[in-house]
Chain A
Amino acid sequence: MTSSARLFFLLLFSFAFTYVSAQEVDDHGSVADHHSPEMECGSHDEYDPAGVILHHIADANEFHVIGDFSVPLPVFLYAPEAGLTAGFSNMFHHGEVAVDGYVMNHGRINRLVDAPAGLMEGDHEVECIAHTSTEVDGKTRDMYYALIGGERYLLDAPSVGDGGLLGGGITSFYDFSITKNVFTMILASLLLIFLWRAVANGYKKNEGKAPSGIQSLMEPFFVFLRDEISIPMIGEKHYERFQPFIMTIFFFVLFCNLLGLIPIFPGSSNVTGNLAVTMALAVISAFVAYFHGNRHYWEHTLWMPGVPPLIKIFILTPVEILGLVIKPFSLMVRLFANITAGHIIILSLISLIFIFGNNGESVLGAGAGAIVSVAFTLFMNCIELLVAFVQAFIFAILSASYIGAAVEDAHHHDEAGHHGEEKVAEGGVMGGAVTGMHTAAD
């Protein structure tokens, strides 16, 4: 490709980006009313980068493609009192229609609270979604209201598993929809299945021959993960049992990371930058490790031999039990923080265009912002590409080290143990460096 063609694509791309982002400001960026007590419906012109960014990294019940066009996604909502509601996300018309008491609020489905029974069934037109912030127990809480037929009704967000610590908790309904993130996970899984089926077919076709095509492209990954993660972390004796798990977790995380870097449909979902996803993956890894933990491992964790009982009861055992929780917790936070930070930085850089352009008033400022923003975004995208691989690798190597610690035999405890710890420290430093860089830039 010649340099002029490359420049052309870069410009085209940045214009497309500008256009998409500009549209989204109109759609969701207007959250300037968060301090106004009166409930009004109307458009707000002020550009709010934080709102736009947080909207973009969040999960959504519809997949926004361009302009007003979104890909409808299946919706499965369960409220204990009303049962299951299913359908497609386009039945909410981007929040203009309430269906069975459910309303779409900035891409996410919410439920009306304390609405009359008539509103909880059938379709009703929603005039607008309003937003206020109120002080509850010294904390600021965001409240969203739907204006239906001149009355305002409080909106409930879907239940989340934070135990109320982060302002969530169990609410009046559960959202089991195929959201944007779920859609991307399914897409990543299908891609992986097609890819690896082709690779596995290569082994059938070329049996007893040298690998060819996609098979020779992907084989180094398999061999690398086997020789650099599974065998050193888990050991010659046990690694074969866990190699499939390590491969699956590495490639699942990698593909979700990479799909998240594609700025247009079907990519752009912040899958591995969502705590729910990383929590599920980390807990699965921890379960795999603890489920396969042998007697030696549990003995050393819960009742370390050769240590006075008093120290065991008050220090060692509590610390080890904490460790059982902290291990998956660190996995969860590391991946989440790295990917979310990357997305926030890129979106912040894109937001520069609108900040410099004074929200469309200064074309010159927007142009200057575009040049700066494209250069920085390009740079950040390269780093994010690296991070996508590094974080998948770290997730896999740490999972393998937890499994390795759980299954290792009593005899060669020392050398294997130290080897594992060394590798983990290395991984931690890498992860820490990447996270640190993000935080600094953020």
Chain B
Amino acid sequence: MSTLFLVDFNVLKPDIGLIFWTVIIFLVLYFILGKLAWEPIQKALRRRDEEIQSSIDEAKRAREEMQAQADENQRLLIEAREERTRIISDAEKQRKEMIAEAKNEARDAAQKVASDARRDIDNMRKAAMVDLKKEVGTMAIEIAEKILQKDLKSDANQEAFVRELVRDLN
């Protein structure tokens, strides 16, 4: 039986016709499927891979851009805040300076006015004094002239007058 098995086992005998047809069918199938399916599919898959990759890259780029934008916004905000603080503090300083300046000016002006007034008063007082002295002198001289004209006509009177003057001097 075993010998029969081997001899009859004709799938082991490579039939020339079957080899011929296998080669023809396989090669024809390879070329048809290559043209019809493998090339288009390979191309489509590659294109899709590239699309997916580019979409991912695009998304990453967009995210980075957005991040950069957000960072920029943050930076601008911080800058604006600093600017505001700076402006406010500047204004505050300026205000203080202006007030102080105004105060000083006012004080200076007031002092000037006061000193001017004092000087004027002084001057006027001095002038008044001069006038007064001149007036009093004139009046004294006039009085003296009148007295002298009236009393000094007699000797007694002259004498009494001198005495009186002398007494006054004491």
Q: Does B22 have its Cβ within 8 Å of any Cβ on chain A?
A: yes
Q: Does B165 have its Cβ within 8 Å of any Cβ on chain A?
A: no
By a CB distance below 8 angstroms, the chain A residues around B18 are: 59, 179, 181-182, 274, 276-277, 280
The one of B14, B38, B42 that contacts A279, using a Cβ cutoff of 8 Å: B14
Q: Does A439 have its Cβ within 8 Å of any Cβ on chain B?
A: no
| B120-133 interface code vs A (CB 8 A; 1 in, 0 out) | 00000000000000
Q: Does B37 have its Cβ within 8 Å of any Cβ on chain A?
A: yes
Q: Does B140 have its Cβ within 8 Å of any Cβ on chain A?
A: no
- Residue contact A200 to B40, C-beta cutoff 8 Å: yes
Known: A219-B45, A252-B26. 14 other contacts (CB 8 A): A34-B4, A58-B11, A140-B3, A158-B15, A160-B13, A161-B14, A168-B10, A192-B29, A193-B36, A204-B44, A240-B42, A277-B18, A280-B22, A340-B11
By a CB distance below 8 angstroms, the chain A residues around B45 are: 203, 219, 222-223, 226
Q: Does A284 have its Cβ within 8 Å of any Cβ on chain B?
A: yes
| A189-213 interface code vs B (CB 8 A; 1 in, 0 out) | 1001100110110011001100000
- Residue contact B4 to A248, C-beta cutoff 8 Å: no
Count, A-B residue pairs, CB within 8 A: 175
- Residue contact A248 to B33, C-beta cutoff 8 Å: yes
By a CB distance below 8 angstroms, the chain A residues around B6 are: 166
- Residue contact A59 to B11, C-beta cutoff 8 Å: yes
CA distance A222 to B29 in the complex (A): 17
- Take A182-B25, A275-B12, A336-B11 as given contacts and tell me if A139 and B30 are in contact as well, using a CB distance cutoff of 8 Å: no
CA distance A279 to B19 in the complex (A): 7
Chain A stretch 315-373: residues in CB contact (< 8 A) with chain B: 336, 340
Main secondary structure of the interface of A (DSSP, over half): helix
By a CB distance below 8 angstroms, the chain A residues around B32 are: 189, 193
Chain A interfacial residues counted at CB < 8 A? 69
By a CB distance below 8 angstroms, the chain A residues around B19 are: 161, 276-277, 279-280
- Please give the distance in Å from A58's CB to the nearest CB on chain B: 5
- Residue contact A140 to B4, C-beta cutoff 8 Å: yes
Residue of B6, B9, B16, B22 most packed against chain A (CB within 10 A):
B22
Chain B stretch 20-53: residues in CB contact (< 8 A) with chain A: 20-23, 25-30, 32-34, 36-42, 44-45, 51
- A binding-site residues for B, Cβ under 8 Å: 34, 50-51, 54, 57-59, 76, 108, 133, 139-142, 157-162, 166-168, 174-179, 181-182, 185-186, 189, 192-193, 196-197, 199-200, 203-204, 207-208, 219, 222-223, 226, 240, 243-245, 247-249, 251-252, 270, 273-277, 279-281, 284, 336, 340
The one of B1, B17, B30, B33 that contacts A179, using a Cβ cutoff of 8 Å: B17
The one of B4, B17, B39 that contacts A133, using a Cβ cutoff of 8 Å: B4
Residue of B7, B9, B10, B42 most packed against chain A (CB within 10 A):
B10
CA distance A151 to B10 in the complex (A): 27
- Residue contact A244 to B33, C-beta cutoff 8 Å: yes
- Please give the distance in Å from A199's CB to the nearest CB on chain B: 6
- Please give the distance in Å from A261's CB to the nearest CB on chain B: 16
- Residue contact B40 to A193, C-beta cutoff 8 Å: no
CA distance A336 to B14 in the complex (A): 11
- Residue contact A168 to B13, C-beta cutoff 8 Å: yes
CA distance A199 to B19 in the complex (A): 30
- Please give the distance in Å from B35's CB to the nearest CB on chain A: 9
B34 closest partner in A (C-beta): A244
- Residue contact B23 to A280, C-beta cutoff 8 Å: yes
By a CB distance below 8 angstroms, the chain A residues around B155 are: none
- Please give the distance in Å from B53's CB to the nearest CB on chain A: 14
By a CB distance below 8 angstroms, the chain B residues around A192 are: 29, 33
CA distance A141 to B13 in the complex (A): 14
- Please give the distance in Å from B52's CB to the nearest CB on chain A: 11
- Please give the distance in Å from B25's CB to the nearest CB on chain A: 5
- Residue contact B51 to A244, C-beta cutoff 8 Å: no
- Take A50-B4, A200-B40, A248-B38 as given contacts and tell me if A276 and B15 are in contact as well, using a CB distance cutoff of 8 Å: yes
- Take A248-B34, A276-B19 as given contacts and tell me if A160 and B26 are in contact as well, using a CB distance cutoff of 8 Å: no
- Take A54-B8, A54-B9 as given contacts and tell me if A248 and B30 are in contact as well, using a CB distance cutoff of 8 Å: yes
A280 closest partner in B (C-beta): B22
CA distance A274 to B18 in the complex (A): 9
- Residue contact B4 to A284, C-beta cutoff 8 Å: no
- Please give the distance in Å from A155's CB to the nearest CB on chain B: 14
- Take A185-B25, A186-B25, A193-B32 as given contacts and tell me if A51 and B8 are in contact as well, using a CB distance cutoff of 8 Å: yes
CA distance A51 to B32 in the complex (A): 39
In the complex, 13 of the A-B residue pairs with CB atoms within 8 angstroms, ordered by the A residue number, are A160-B10, A160-B13, A160-B15, A168-B10, A182-B18, A219-B41, A244-B30, A244-B39, A245-B30, A273-B11, A275-B12, A277-B18, A284-B26
CA distance A140 to B42 in the complex (A): 54
- Residue contact B22 to A281, C-beta cutoff 8 Å: yes
The one of A57, A174, A176, A244 that contacts B38, using a Cβ cutoff of 8 Å: A244
The one of A139, A196, A284 that contacts B37, using a Cβ cutoff of 8 Å: A196
CA distance A204 to B37 in the complex (A): 11
- Please give the distance in Å from A342's CB to the nearest CB on chain B: 13
CA distance A249 to B37 in the complex (A): 14
By a CB distance below 8 angstroms, the chain B residues around A199 are: 37, 41
- Residue contact A142 to B4, C-beta cutoff 8 Å: yes
By a CB distance below 8 angstroms, the chain B residues around A161 are: 14-16, 19
